[in-house]
Amino acid sequence: MNAHRVELLRKRLTDRLDNEVIGDSEYKMLWLVRHLEEYLERWFGFAELEGVTVADTLHNELFDVVLAAVDVINSRLPQLGPTKPFPREEWQHFQNALEWIQKSPERSELALITSTFDSFCSKFPV
């Protein structure tokens, strides 16, 4: 992970969200989650390639985009308020999985990210 690059990507994503995405905070959160899902799918595509280690993929811009999207989602959670449904526990499990893969970048650990994100999405209101 490149913290400087993550911050730049976070700013770009926030600017895009504020200037291009029309809707209330709930709609913007849905947009963010759907884009995160797309970024994850692309990252998994690289992480599952033969000859590429998971550790290698943690140092490219695609994984940094995943981290930036997570940061933006976290920053927007307070705007939802307590009455808007958001599966916070499942979200935390997913974030923990992302932290874990950075500490233990093994291909076998990718399933943990997939399962925690799927669990989150199954409870996220669409």
Residues 27-53 pLDDT 10s: 999 999 999 999 999 999 989 888 889
Domain extent for 107: 3-123
> What is the predicted pLDDT for the residue at 32?
94
Q: Which residue has the higher pLDDT, 125 or 25?
A: 25
Q: What is the pTM of this model?
A: 0.90
Q: How far apart are CA 90 and CA 118, in angstroms?
A: 9
What's the pLDDT tens digit per position in 7-20?
999 999 998 988 98
- Give the span between the Cα atoms of 18 and 21, in whole angstroms: 6
Of 119, 112, 106, nearest to 53 by C-alpha is 106
Q: Which of 1-5, 86-90, 119-123 is predicted least confidently?
A: 1-5
* pLDDT for the residue numbered 126: 59
**In the chain, how many domains are there?**
1
Question: Mean per-residue pLDDT for 2-6?
Answer: 85
Give the pLDDT confidence of 48-104 residue by residue, as tens digits. 888 889 999 998 889 999 999 999 999 999 888 777 788 999 999 999 999 999 999
